[in-house]
Structure 1
Amino acid sequence: MLSSGEARVTGIEFDSVLSGGLSRSLAALPVESDAPVTYREVLESLRGIEVEIKAGAEAWSGQLAEVTDAPPIHLSPRAASVAAAGTGGKAPALEAGRQERAAVAPDTQEDLYLTLIQRGGAIRRLRASRVDQVRPVDPIVAGRLGAAVGALSGRAAQIRRSLRVLAESAAPVRLGYIAETPVWRSTYRLLLDGGRAKLQGWALVHNDTDEPWAGVSVELVNGRPDSFLFPLSAPRYARRGLAHPDESLSTIPQLADRTPDQIWGDNADGSITSMGFGSGEGRLGGSHGMGLSGTGSVMTLPDGSTEESEALSIGNLAEVAQAVGVENGALFTYRLAGGLHLRAHGSALVPFTQQDVEAQRLTWFEGEQERGRSGARLANTTAQTLPAGPVAVYEASGFAGETGLPRLKPGERAFLLFGVDLDVALRTAARRPEDATQRLVFEGGRLTEHFVRKHRRTYAVENRGGEGRRVHVALDIVKNASARGFDAVDFDEASGRPLGVLRIGPRSKLEREVTIDEALQRSHDVRSLSSRALREKADVAALTAADRAALGAAARLFEEVEKTDREKAAESASIGRIEKDLARLREHLEALGDKSGSPAGANPLVVRILALEDELSGARRRLEQLEAQREARLASVKGELDRLR
């Protein structure tokens, strides 16, 4: 609400917007908002109310005392035949039960009795089927019934309501309002012309209201401002809690056929699922905003698996992708040049930007078996944030393809792929990679090896087209790497992969040797190591003398661990043999039985079983001792490896 300062506004008055449950409750109707209202329920809502009833030329007034079921009126045979003749003179063949039902007046099969107590004390009973009109005498009751009908209407949100501005002067006051409209969307045309490019941005806007726009000033906001519906206009009674507009977008306006209070519902069960505005705790910040949260964790790699090294640094191929963005706050607003004229329920594409941008034509390869993809490296060199949207790409020869543009701040850039390049082919020949250990670290019972993996690859490119190409090859390497032999190195932020760039002229072939070094690490549990592996690492020249000495000592101690492992294997084999002999002898004893009546100690099978059981107990004790010995010797190995820091 705006004024020149001469008007003193004291308030705004409007009719309360009743929810379905409240309107039913005030009209004494059932409060279930979704259930249909029957004729009987409307009559029962008038019990105890002064009403006027008309039936033909007669009229009665009084208090409606009761509404009860009335039996149907049975017709005489003559009246039944007349009723049948009224259907066209054709009497259908009916069963006995259906004949009986046909002898009942059709409008009395589910009839009601209205019990009316008149002012003089007279009691009158009337059939509802014979009544033409029932009208409450009290205008307040009639108004409540009318309000209930309006709230229950499927077009309740479109009912016109008056708004009264309370002011102490006659000075003019200007009112502003917010109308629900669809979100605006962007679409682009990218015109590639050699090393130059022009980007045209068009906004698709919709006037989904019943009011035409005439010279409307339009501002397009590029961002995600918080916006929500809040049930405010209807009277509420303590049970409050909601603020749940989520990110999903619908093609149907929320207020097409319901008010915010109807969307919220009546919460008649008294349950409160969450607190909301007006109850001492606002929860909008967490209910409709978008956010990303993460938790830190320690990742344990499987033995032998590799990842980017945290201890070595030989290069950062992602640095080439860093650009300085211009931060203009959370939102960026485009103001259209002139007023917009748009009919009601109409849509329009309107231009919101047209500027020169930096774009390089390229051919993209994911791998040797993949076809080259036509693309462009687009940098947002404008001062505006570009919202996401589809892009139609054009070259001098005409339409080149379609793709999507991610949201780009000033200074940011993206790779756009929009077609297949049939003129460029790529072949790759690679030698087996070579690993060179640079450092060993022992921590948490795991030995981590930091090493450099050297790749030697040959890229053969053929360009059968009449124009030169910039070939971008997606590399399956980590960012902590260096690459020699490419004309340039780039980085794709979307996929997190480095890119090798090769330039080739028109109708030509190119073969290039490339060397790539990656800084990687792999981790091993100490129990999975071997004395041989430790001795090999002790001979690595890149390690310090202290580290080599620690590895050599650990290798010698691990030989004792391996000796214990061999003894354990032999003892386990002995236990297995004894258990098989025991099982066999027990089967023989069970099959033969003891028929001699001699004592158990005189039976050779029993004697043998007892001896084997003693032998088995001794073997199991020795195995337990060997396991303890192994753990002690393994602890000595860990003590030596702890020097690797």
Structure 2
Amino acid sequence: MSEQPRIRKMVLFKHGVAYLERSGPADGAFELSFKREEMSDVLKSLAAWVVRGDAQVNWVAFEKPEDPEQVLRDRNLGFAPGDALSGLLGALRGQKITLSAGGTAKSGELLGYQSVPGESGAEERVVVLRTAAGQLELVQLRTITGMELLEERSRSDVAFILDRSRAATSGENRAVRIHVEGRAEELRVSYVIPAPTWRVSYRVALTGDEAAIMGWGIVHNPAAEDIEGVQLTLTTGQPVSFLIDLYNPKTVARTVVEEQSRVASAPKKFEKARRASMGPAAAPAPMMFAMAAAPMAMDSDTPAGGFGASYEASVTPQAEGVDRGELFEYRIAAPVSIGRGGSAMVPLFLAKTPAKKERIWRDGEPPNPDLVLTFDNDTGVVLEEGPAVIYDGDVYAGESMVPYSARKAKVRLGFAKDLSVHCTGRAQSRTVFTSVQIVRGVLVEEFREETDHVFRVESDHQEPVDVVIEMPRDHTRTLNTAFAMPFEETEGFHRFKITAPPGGMGEITVQARWQRQARVQWQQVDQGRLGRWLSERFLDDGTIEKLRAVLALQDQERELERTLQSWRDHQTQVATRIERSRQQLGVLKDTGPEGELRLRYVRDLEAAQNQMAEADAAAETLVRQIAELQVDARAQLAAVLRDGKE
């Protein structure tokens, strides 16, 4: 079997896969070993092609996902490693063999073996053969020095036992055998396997108005072997990738149908589909990587904790940043070697860019502002998310997280708190009545809500200090230009600047405004409200006077309603008198003293009935007058609202 080609190229992606490419000579079949959990990705992605040489890749074979030991047991070929001879004899029963024992060859069909009493009385095991003459011959197991398998089936079983035993000793690894016909001077095999995502960490040194940024890639060897002199590429972006089980056989459930008893029909014949001729597959286009730059050199005299100007002279970046459409690649120039199960750090880039140190405080947070390193990503590469250690000169200053940043993007890294600066914010709100309008036949009052945000910065520094105040943006509010205005806007914040003098305090006021409307029900309008609208000149005199006329009608209506209620209360009292008089008349006699009393109740009942008739007439008149006033008031109000309709 040919030696497997070595890994020459490795591309690591951020979403948990690695592209590996092997290259080397091949003369016949060779095997690659993969973990069981890698097999689905391998079967999904494996490609093999000849670059140079007179050879052809015929097919790729791979081990089934079943347990090798169980497969042997299922075929009655399984036995313990310490019982190889007796186990093999048990597996070959009924097959023709030749045993070499005691210097002679004994041939026959194997019946088995058993224990029998020996000459010394101790039991010993013997092999039982049936010879060509039909005789049974016993061969002492301890005297056997060799065995020849005379049948192809026996030799095939032994080969299968060896193959499955080899698979069993490989643990969870699975063999993939690539069959090559002819000799290839250079054969390439590529595939994708699961891999730990590569990561990045940064060192950022601020010197004056310039920052030196160095990125290191952290990679892990995903292959189950040492890799030496590999071309390594680290890729950003997120290509589509998914898991699909191509390794375990998929069995489709079929419907069970019971046959019916009837006369059998002649079998129907179907033509086979024509298969297209399958010639040698064209080689997939290889990924091309341009490598440049020299190996990194480390200066052992660099001070501990320092990351200053001396790094520029002592570290040569080993990666070339390359755009690949939606992806960005770091192509490591120097070949990389990583031991099996090992990891490595590789320098990706070293770049300088203008930078500044800011103090930023966000409204609502604790009082001390963040110290923030701010720069545009002018490094020429895409910055992946990762931790960063910040140095101010050669002094460790703090740590931060670099967000994913495209080239030219603004980057801000908060790395510490300034305990010598204290920031506060307070807010005071008020409502200002601004107008009343007739909108689509509806009275609408408009208000302006105002909130004054007062931000204060107190500093203990001996020099002036600028602090950037971030106030959350609310897209429903506008800022009053008569107050402090932001010097910069972000997606979520207004940014203001406050300068605090040495050992002093700075303060600004920001006013946020927004409009609010409220529908006014006519029942809520009174003379006082009309007077306010008139004094503020929200409505013209003519409209106000018309509304006053409507209010006057409503006042008359309310007065009549009060009068009507008085008559109804009187009706209730009279009805009570009438009912009481009728009850008394029902029990009094017509003669004697009761007759005189009865006469008084009759006169009282007649007077009460007259009063009830008068009350009914008055109430009826009032109801009619109220209805007329309501109609008149609604008509006049509708005319006012119609004349003022926008």
TM-score for both structures, normalised by structure 1: 0.49
Structure with more strand by fraction: 2
Rg larger for: 2
